[in-house]
Chain A
Amino acid sequence: MSIVTVQLGQCGNQIGFEVFDALFSDSHCSQGFCSKKENEAYQASCKERFFSEEENGVPIARAVLVDMEPKVINQTLSKAAQSGRWKYGQHSCFCQKQGSGNNWAYGYSVHGPRHQESIMNLIQKEVEKCDSLSGFFIIMSMAGGTGSGLGAFITQNLQDEFSNSLRMNQIIWPYGTGEVIVQNYNSILTLSHLYRSSDALLVHENDAVHKICAKLMNIKQISFSDINQVLAHQLGSVFQPTYSAEGSSHYRRNPLEGFKEPALYTSWLKPVDAFSVWRTQRAFRRYEKSAALVSNSQFLVKPLDTIVGRAWNMFASKAYIHQYTKFGVEEEDFLDSFTLLEQIVASYCNL
């Protein structure tokens, strides 16, 4: 079963490249600490999920690259092609000339409808190349304009057009001390819209990954490249083929299935249902033993609460609102978003 990845905006595209690179280099690792047969089964499963084959044997990532300005996509395409080991499809990108200006409303209300057909066509083409589609993996940031706004719009479209397939969004949570001044507005608008159209939101906080680079990896001058590589490593270990608890002899058919029912540790859920373990003999990226934990817990409440609080303070002063209403996102839309997110925070707190 295959996953089609949609990379949106600068962040989405930069991370997307690292993820495919990590997946590829892992699956082509000669040292798997397992049997040859095991390794081959692993490689075949990985390849089917993330890459399609081209005539001269260079695998093509099952991905659609979207950005509203060309610089990052051009860089991403050439980096992939340079490696010579895998690449992106020549016609898998959608690009415009002028970015979204960090404006969620512009990404969602202007770019979205304007480019809906073209982008969905590209995704459709990628889906047709799959023997069987398990779902979509959408990589985006919350702070900017394209990843956040257009990302929310596209996810909604995917829900409409491919309602039977799963949608998992990889969201990048911005640094607390600010990368974009309107990041809190963009974040709450993104989250409230994704909650209605996405099946699962996989969150990575820039602050947290930064700390990993600093404290665990001792990198002195941390660049976004370092951060993205750590992210890719984590994502890779989550997505690579594993056996399900049933211990069948084939790799899990649907890699995204397990995320469909988020498990909660509450009194009304037995631990055996809450905790799923998937394992494989085959080592990930030369680590003899490794484990990845994906959890749905209250850990995200504090960051979410912080963002909602800051956005609320700013909203009360009406600062920057004119930039959003200019493109059709009104104060009511903000209030709707606030309401939904407060409900989510309250729900998590009440566990």
Chain B
Amino acid sequence: MTQSVVIQVGQCGNQIGCCFWDLALREHAAVNQKGIYDEALSSFFRNVDARVVGDGGSISKGKISSLKARAVLIDMEEGVVNEILQGPLRDVFDSKQLITNVSGSGNNWAVGHKVFGSAYQEQILEKLRKSAEHCDCLQCFFIIHSMGGGTGSGLGTFLLKVLEDEFPEVYRFVTSVYPSSEDDVITSPYNSILAMKELSEHADCVLPIDNQSLFDIISKIDLMVNSGKLGAAVKPRSLVTASAEALRKRHKKPFDAMNNIVANVLLSLTSSARFEGSLNMDLNEISMNLVPFPQLHYLVSSLTPLYTLADVNIPPRRLDQMFSDAFSKDHQLIRANPRHSLYLACALMVRGDVQISDLRRNIERLKPSLQFVSWNQEGWKTSLCSVPPVGHSHSLLALANNTCVKPTFLELRERFTRLYKKKAHLHHYLQVDGMEEGCFTEAVSSLSALIEEYDRLDATKGMPVQNLPRLSIAV
């Protein structure tokens, strides 16, 4: 079994990360009845001797003593990390695996990437090496950040190059929150475009997430929960937005609910690697199956179901509905409609009481309405994990490499161009050592090249699939 390390950068990254660890603990607690430190737990947690003061030595087997998250927390402001360290999860984090500052990055990618990057490079390397040493077999780094700000965007992407150089064999999975069009950070287009170049060049896989889509999903859930029309009570623990805090009181901040959705995606992504099932899917299989060409590694995700109904008189939502929902535009975590675009590849990661025949039946049923690229007409990757998420009997995470990401990138480029044309706020960036206008033009042309790739693929949509002439053999 392998281990993964989560690196949460910036305010958004740390808030999502916090939700992730809360959910991970709950999930393992539900499965691990005997309190034994098993291999599944070890993928994200160390077992540390609580009696030893300071950095307790790791215990590899036996009863759980004290669990420590395999995480590195980075933020150039102290507020969020301090809140985490004073909250209910404070004992889960190793106090030495933090890097903080007080001044913040001022929503400036250049400050995050160039200034803090070089200032903290040594420290970052040291913490990463420590994390890696604690792992028997480190397989993956999960980086969580947002694109629109300064720290998550700048320092978060600086990290990618460091990881690539220092740990070339370890996968770099990035969960990136893209700014929605109503984003209140004026310079978010600059930050996002500069960050995109780094993602395209140094990440193995990116899961783009859009705040607006998350918001729409939680609005739908709230409507459902509060409607009372059907007299349907929703099982609170099953809400994809649920967390320990939320169960005790109503969500204070809308971001809590939204962050929980992202945390659930990460949990489901790793479920088949952690738990047993009849068709396992390891993390290295994600990149192998879903990334046909190195640059095209942006995966659109959707998670279903969003909740389970508690009322036993209402029949459980049909299994097939879960599969249909995964392909509906309302369930995607970015603004996209995969049904109208071209699939390069699609992965269905199923959890819980679902068998191979259910999976096959639904693939057959949904295939005709989806368009796959000519050289990957049967492009499905599937997995079955026996352990469902807390509060559900089954769930589905769909990951699609689909040209429907293009509109998000187009919009980003458009917003960037509007700002850049007027050279608005540019001086904040250019005054940073190492920054010049070339950085901007290079970044936007990298994005344009990516968009062109998607355009080329889209142009093949709807064309009849031609079987190429085969090798002719003299018998």
* With known contacts A71-B1, A97-B136, A223-B355, A342–B376 Cβ distance under 8 A: no
Q: Report Cα–Cα, A126/B473, bound state, in Å.
A: 42
Interface pair B137/A98, CB less than 8 Å apart? yes
Q: Report Cα–Cα, A71/B379, bound state, in Å.
A: 26
Which of A23-31, A174-182, A238-246, A279-287 is the contact stretch?
A174-182
Which of B21-29, B121-129, B275-283 is the contact stretch?
B275-283
Q: Does A102 contact B (CB under 8 A)?
A: yes
Q: Does A275 contact B (CB under 8 A)?
A: no
Interface pair B380/A177, CB less than 8 Å apart? yes
Q: Does A302 contact B (CB under 8 A)?
A: no
1/0 contact trace for A291-320 toward B, CB 8 Å? Answer: 000000000000000001110111011111
Interface pair A97/B1, CB less than 8 Å apart? yes
Interface pair A312/B355, CB less than 8 Å apart? no
Q: Min CB distance, B322 to chain A, in Å?
A: 15
Query: Who on chain A is nearest to B39 by CB?
Result: A70
Interface pair B357/A72, CB less than 8 Å apart? no
Q: Report Cα–Cα, A165/B360, bound state, in Å.
A: 39
Interface pair A178/B378, CB less than 8 Å apart? yes
Interchain residue pairs A-B with the least CB separation, the first 5: A101-B284, A178-B380, A222-B357, A319-B292, A97-B137
Q: Report Cα–Cα, A178/B289, bound state, in Å.
A: 11
1/0 contact trace for A60-74 toward B, CB 8 Å? Answer: 000000000111100
Q: Does A99 contact B (CB under 8 A)?
A: yes
Q: Residues of B contacting A97 with CB < 8 Å?
A: 1-2, 136-137
Query: Who on chain A is nearest to B294 by CB?
Result: A322
Q: Does B247 contact A (CB under 8 A)?
A: no
Provide 26 A-B residue pairs closer than 8 Å at the C-beta atoms, listed in order of the A residue: A69-B2, A70-B39, A71-B280, A72-B276, A75-B276, A101-B282, A103-B288, A177-B367, A178-B378, A178-B379, A178-B380, A179-B382, A181-B289, A181-B345, A214-B357, A222-B356, A225-B278, A308-B470, A309-B467, A313-B374, A313-B375, A314-B376, A320-B288, A322-B293, A323-B288, A346-B473
Q: Report Cα–Cα, A69/B137, bound state, in Å.
A: 11
1/0 contact trace for B37-65 toward A, CB 8 Å? Answer: 00100000000000000000000000000
Q: Does A221 contact B (CB under 8 A)?
A: yes
Query: Who on chain B is nearest to A322 by CB?
Result: B294
Interface pair B382/A343, CB less than 8 Å apart? no
Q: Report Cα–Cα, A99/B292, bound state, in Å.
A: 20
Interface pair A182/B39, CB less than 8 Å apart? no
Interface pair A210/B289, CB less than 8 Å apart? no
Interface pair A221/B355, CB less than 8 Å apart? yes
* With known contacts A98-B2, A319-B292, A176–B378 Cβ distance under 8 A: yes
1/0 contact trace for B381-406 toward A, CB 8 Å? Answer: 11010000000000000000000000
Interface pair A181/B374, CB less than 8 Å apart? no
Interface pair B360/A99, CB less than 8 Å apart? no
Q: Which of B136, B374, B380, B475 has a CB less than 8 Å from the CB of A179? A: B380
Q: Does A197 contact B (CB under 8 A)?
A: no
Q: Which of B279, B363, B375, B471 has a CB less than 8 Å from the CB of A339? A: B471
Q: Does B290 contact A (CB under 8 A)?
A: yes
Q: Does B468 contact A (CB under 8 A)?
A: yes
Q: Which of B247-290 contact A (CB under 8 A)?
A: 276, 278-280, 282, 284-285, 287-290
1/0 contact trace for B334-360 toward A, CB 8 Å? Answer: 000000000011000000000111101
Q: Residues of A contacting B291 with CB < 8 Å?
A: 320, 323
Q: Min CB distance, A242 to chain B, in Å?
A: 32
Q: What number of residue pairs across chains A and B have CB atoms under 8 A from each other? A: 141
Q: Report Cα–Cα, A227/B139, bound state, in Å.
A: 32
Q: Report Cα–Cα, A177/B359, bound state, in Å.
A: 11
Q: Min CB distance, A9 to chain B, in Å?
A: 10
Q: Does A338 contact B (CB under 8 A)?
A: yes
Interface pair B293/A319, CB less than 8 Å apart? yes
Interface pair A223/B278, CB less than 8 Å apart? yes
* With known contacts A102-B285, A342-B471, A178–B382 Cβ distance under 8 A: yes
* With known contacts A70-B1, A99-B285, A308-B470, A179–B278 Cβ distance under 8 A: no
Interface pair A310/B292, CB less than 8 Å apart? no
Q: Does B364 contact A (CB under 8 A)?
A: yes
Number of interface residues of B (CB under 8 A): 48
Interface pair A102/B470, CB less than 8 Å apart? no
Q: Residues of B contacting A182 with CB < 8 Å?
A: 288-289
Query: Who on chain B is nearest to A68 by CB?
Result: B282
Q: Min CB distance, A39 to chain B, in Å?
A: 35
* Interface residues of B, Cβ cutoff 8 Å to A: 1-2, 39, 136-137, 139, 276, 278-280, 282, 284-285, 287-294, 344-345, 355-358, 360, 363-364, 367, 374-382, 384, 467-468, 470-473, 475
Q: Report Cα–Cα, A274/B284, bound state, in Å.
A: 46
Q: Does A347 contact B (CB under 8 A)?
A: yes
Q: Residues of A contacting B357 with CB < 8 Å?
A: 210, 213-214, 219, 221-223
Number of interface residues of A (CB under 8 A): 52
Q: Residues of A contacting B288 with CB < 8 Å?
A: 101-103, 145, 182, 320, 323
Q: Min CB distance, A69 to chain B, in Å?
A: 6
Q: Which of A68-85 contact B (CB under 8 A)?
A: 69-72, 75
Query: Who on chain A is nearest to B344 by CB?
Result: A319
1/0 contact trace for A146-164 toward B, CB 8 Å? Answer: 0000000000000000000
Interface pair B381/A179, CB less than 8 Å apart? yes
Q: Does A248 contact B (CB under 8 A)?
A: no
Q: Residues of B contacting A313 with CB < 8 Å?
A: 374-375, 467-468
Q: Residues of B contacting A312 with CB < 8 Å?
A: 468, 470-471
Q: Report Cα–Cα, A350/B475, bound state, in Å.
A: 9
Interface pair B471/A338, CB less than 8 Å apart? yes
Query: Who on chain B is nearest to A71 by CB?
Result: B276
Interface pair A347/B475, CB less than 8 Å apart? yes
Q: Report Cα–Cα, A72/B470, bound state, in Å.
A: 39
Interface pair B473/A343, CB less than 8 Å apart? yes
Q: Report Cα–Cα, A116/B163, bound state, in Å.
A: 31
Q: Which of A202-230 contact B (CB under 8 A)?
A: 210, 213-214, 219, 221-225, 227
Interface pair A346/B289, CB less than 8 Å apart? no
Q: Residues of B contacting A237 with CB < 8 Å?
A: none
Q: Residues of A contacting B287 with CB < 8 Å?
A: 101, 323
Interface pair B364/A317, CB less than 8 Å apart? no
Interface pair A310/B378, CB less than 8 Å apart? yes
Query: Who on chain B is nearest to A10 by CB?
Result: B280
Interface pair B381/A180, CB less than 8 Å apart? yes
Q: Does A190 contact B (CB under 8 A)?
A: no
Q: Does A52 contact B (CB under 8 A)?
A: no
Q: Report Cα–Cα, A224/B287, bound state, in Å.
A: 25
Given A71-B276, A179-B380, A322-B293, 11 other A-B contacts at CB below 8 A?
A10-B279, A99-B285, A101-B282, A177-B364, A179-B382, A312-B470, A319-B292, A322-B294, A323-B288, A323-B291, A339-B471
Q: Min CB distance, A93 to chain B, in Å?
A: 15
Q: Report Cα–Cα, A66/B278, bound state, in Å.
A: 17
Query: Who on chain A is nearest to B468 by CB?
Result: A316
Q: Does A14 contact B (CB under 8 A)?
A: yes
Query: Who on chain B is nearest to A318 by CB?
Result: B293
Interface pair B468/A342, CB less than 8 Å apart? no
Query: Who on chain A is nearest to B289 by CB?
Result: A181
Q: Report Cα–Cα, A101/B287, bound state, in Å.
A: 9
Interface pair A224/B364, CB less than 8 Å apart? no
* With known contacts A69-B1, A221-B355, A320-B292, A309–B279 Cβ distance under 8 A: no
Interface pair A224/B363, CB less than 8 Å apart? no
Q: Report Cα–Cα, A316/B373, bound state, in Å.
A: 13
Query: Who on chain B is nearest to A345 by CB?
Result: B473
Q: Min CB distance, A61 to chain B, in Å?
A: 21
